[in-house]
Amino acid sequence: MQGRLDTFIEDMQATSTLDELQGQIVALRDVLEVEHLVYHSVNSTGQQYAALTYSLDWVDRYLEQDYARVDPVVQGCYRRFHPVDWRLLDWSGKQVRDFMGEAQEAGVGQQGFSVPIRGPSGQFALFTVSDRRSDEAWEKYTETHVRDLILAAHFVNQKALEIERGSDKTDFQKLSPREVDALTLLAMGYSRGQAAESLSISEHTLRVYIESARFKLGATNTTHAVARGLTLGLLVV
């Protein structure tokens, strides 16, 4: 998969419209070897954009019933910064179970992996892959390809921002090894405390490295810095 993903990213550089991005999402679904892929973004003014492979009937039903208010994926990821396997979310409520049953009837797999993204100026995006693999097969897939999924998520988001804003590229200074280490651990899902402990430094020192990296990358916040680091190939997750 890695070779095909690298080729996809190179090909996607030429994408210049949101309509073209929709076609790229379909292609990326096949590269990642999943049944469905969804990219959904909300910018600071509330404008939304989505590129996905679900059926239009299910999309219309989802919007008509305002299922975002009960969808554990949306609700759970909005409060998180790190990737989420759907199996770790709370599906116990009757309303939620009914929603999931209807989603599965519409072709949405019971397995899913979502990457929440917080971009510049209050932008929030969600990148999700879903499938109908068994629990064992899905666990193996996500463990093997978590880096690919995170990289793909942030690359798609970066491309969407470039299309929307004309360009989101800025020059940046080279990061120090410690700055790379700090951002890499955050990209892997470590908390700041865990990252500091892993690097045998204080949280204060870790914060200095993160802020320095953020400044060098021209990022508006820590999550944006991690996203830029991943997209630019500076972090190996």
Backbone angles phi, psi at 59, to 5 degrees: -60, -45
Rounded to 5 degrees, what angle do the CA atoms 161, 188, 179 make?
80
Domain positions in the chain: 2-165, 177-231
Backbone angles phi, psi at 124, to 5 degrees: -130, 130
Q: Let me know: does 221 contact 118? Beta carbons within 8 Å.
A: yes
Average the pLDDT over 27-46 and give the result. Answer: 91
DSSP string, 122-169: G-EEEEEEEE---HHHHHHHHHHHHHHHHHHHHHHHHHHHHHHHS---
Q: Token match 């210049």: residue?
A: 16
Residue 144, helix vs strand vs coil:
helix
Q: Let me know: does 69 contact 53? Beta carbons within 8 Å.
A: no
2-165 maps to which CATH number? Answer: 3.30.450.80
At residue 171, the pLDDT reads 55
Tens-place pLDDT, residues 140-152? 999 899 878 988 8
Max mean pLDDT range (12-21, 58-67, 151-160, 183-192)? 58-67
DSSP 202: -
To which H or E segment does residue 51 belong? strand 48-52
Percentage of the chain exceeding pLDDT 70: 95
**Pick the residue with more confidence: 135 or 79?**
135
> Which structure tokens are listed for 180?
């790379």
Beta bridge partners of 50: 40
At the top level of CATH, which class does the domain 177-231 belong to?
A: mainly alpha
What is d(CA 56, CA 105) in angstroms, rounded to the nearest whole number? Answer: 14
What is d(CA 135, CA 102) in angstroms, rounded to the nearest whole number? Answer: 20
